[in-house]
Amino acid sequence: MWWSTIWVMVTLTLRILAAPLAGEAQPANVPRIGVLGLVSTPERDQAQFQAGLRERGYVEGQTIFVEYRWVAAGQAERLSDLAAEFVRLQVDLIVALSTPSVQAAKRATTAIPIVMIAGDPVATGLVTSLARPGGNITGIAAMTAELGGKCFELLRELLPAVPHVAVLLHATDPFAQPFLENIESAARSVGVSIQRVVVQGDEALEGAFTAMVNERAGAVLVQPILATQRTADLAVQHHLPAIAPRLAFAEVGGLMAYAANQASLRRSVGTYVDKILKGAKPADLPVERPMQFDLVLNLKTAQALGITMPPLLLFQAAQVIQ
């Protein structure tokens, strides 16, 4: 029976060794947060978020634990289940990236603090006001509807004679309506007609671009949630200049992008997370609007479309992709 004695001793030894390791995996006093995003470039968004945490002194896996849940634009219906999962996990805070993500988190909980990056949170009913958000949500109004108008103006600088422009919109994102209204207002003032093209996700993009070409659109403005690699590729294939209020769009092949500076966004998110984890209440933290915006131009795409960038646009650009 000597072997059974040895087996018992080995088992006990392994349990003793394993016990402190299990305790070290996630100490009870280390905050746990959930990140929920309806995004086209999760790797980029995750890296930006992690950089913001590091700037506030957090070390992921040591001084803070993060659960990431990323969803593609065509899978918005999954957001509610993932937000509910965070509630079951009893996270200390939820970071929600995109308006539909914030909506899902808001439906899931009124108790867990939510830090958002969203479009027009007042117009879409996420907060009561920017100065006094109320409830359990605060954060950044990064993609305001005014960016739609600004993108239209930049497009006009590039193509002043284009009489008809398409706007690519996401069917289930409430930010689509104020984004479109701002563009239509800017277009009316200069006599440009607007074609609304609404899709559920990437799977409908091919048909959407065919519709734009059939209606003789001269360019397309893309809602940020749809500013994907696929959209950029289809715009070039259909010979349509495209701009979006999402900087990553130009980086993946879109012609132009105009949006809030990413470094400032990540610092702001990190600051909100830090303040709330240290005891601040979301209702007492005003929603921030970014002060710094960047224009990114993709000259490789411009060449493929046979477009020469005006010197004034090149001068305004924070980044020019060759």
Q: Is residue 239 part of a domain?
A: yes
Model pTM score? 0.81
In 10 A of CB 14, how many CB atoms? 10
Tell me, yes or no, whether 170 and 306 share the same domain: yes
Q: Is residue 5 part of a domain?
A: no
Question: Whole domain around residue 195: which residue ranges?
Answer: 146-260+294-321
Tell me, yes or no, whether 299 and 171 share the same domain: yes
Element (H, E) at 169: strand 164-170
Q: Is residue 15 part of a domain?
A: no
- CB neighbour list of residue 183: distance below 8 Å, 6 or more residues apart: 148, 149, 151, 152, 165, 167, 194, 221
For 199-237, the DSSP string reads: ESSGGGHHHHHHHHHHTT-S-EEE-GGG--HHHHHHHHH
CATH number, position 123 = 3.40.50.2300
Tell me, yes or no, whether 211 and 298 share the same domain: yes
Say whether pLDDT at 28 is over 80: no
> Residue 40's pLDDT band (boundaries 50, 70, 90)?
low
Rg of the Cα atoms in the chain: 23
> Residue 264's pLDDT band (boundaries 50, 70, 90)?
confident
Question: In the chain, what percentage of residues exceed pLDDT 70?
Answer: 89
Tell me, yes or no, whether 36 and 57 share the same domain: yes
C-beta separation of 89 from 66 below 8 A = no
Tell me, yes or no, whether 64 and 164 share the same domain: no
Mean of the pLDDT values across residues 75-92?
A: 94
Tell me, yes or no, whether 135 and 153 share the same domain: no
The total number of structural domains in the chain stands at 2
pLDDT at 73: 66
Burial degree of 43 (CB within 10 A; 0-12, 13-18, 19+)? exposed
Tell me, yes or no, whether 93 and 217 share the same domain: no
C-beta separation of 25 from 64 below 8 A = no
**What does the pLDDT look like over 206-261, one tens digit per residue?**
999 999 999 999 999 999 889 989 999 999 999 999 999 999 899 999 999 999 88
Tell me, yes or no, whether 213 and 299 share the same domain: yes
pLDDT at 225: 86
Alpha carbons 197 and 181: distance in angstroms, whole number: 14
Q: Is residue 170 part of a domain?
A: yes
Mean of the pLDDT values across residues 55-64?
A: 94
Tell me, yes or no, whether 187 and 271 share the same domain: no
Q: Is residue 7 part of a domain?
A: no
Q: Provide the pairing of β-strand 293-298 with 256-260.
A: antiparallel
Tell me, yes or no, whether 207 and 236 share the same domain: yes
Q: Is residue 237 part of a domain?
A: yes
Tell me, yes or no, whether 95 and 223 share the same domain: no
Tell me, yes or no, whether 71 and 163 share the same domain: no
